[in-house]
Amino acid sequence: MTCRQFIVTGRVQGVFFRASARDVALPLGLSGHAINLPDGRVEVLACGGRHALAELERWLAEGPPMASVSGVESVDIECAEPLQFTVG
């Protein structure tokens, strides 16, 4: 099990990015969260298999239809695995 933090930049707030990220993550078997950051970015923390994380990262680079993603940074982190995927 791997936990990875993604920081997504661009027009990613107010475009259903967090809820859409959850809708993509859950069928992949990932747990974690998606939260808005004060500077306009979105943080997605996801825990699960490496293949599922790679699929999520590919989706994050595009985002939902109303988003305009300019970048995705990711780093593997140590954390307790969340039991569900939440939107904050």
Nearest to 15 by CA among 62, 52, 57, 77: 62
Return d(Cα 86, Cα 67) in angstroms, integer. Answer: 20
* 36 noted as active-site residue: yes
Residue pair 46/30 in contact by the 8 Å Cβ criterion? yes
Q: Which of the following is catalytic: 4, 11, 18, 41?
A: 18
Q: Which of 4, 11, 36, 41 is catalytic?
A: 36
Catalytic residue IDs: 18, 36
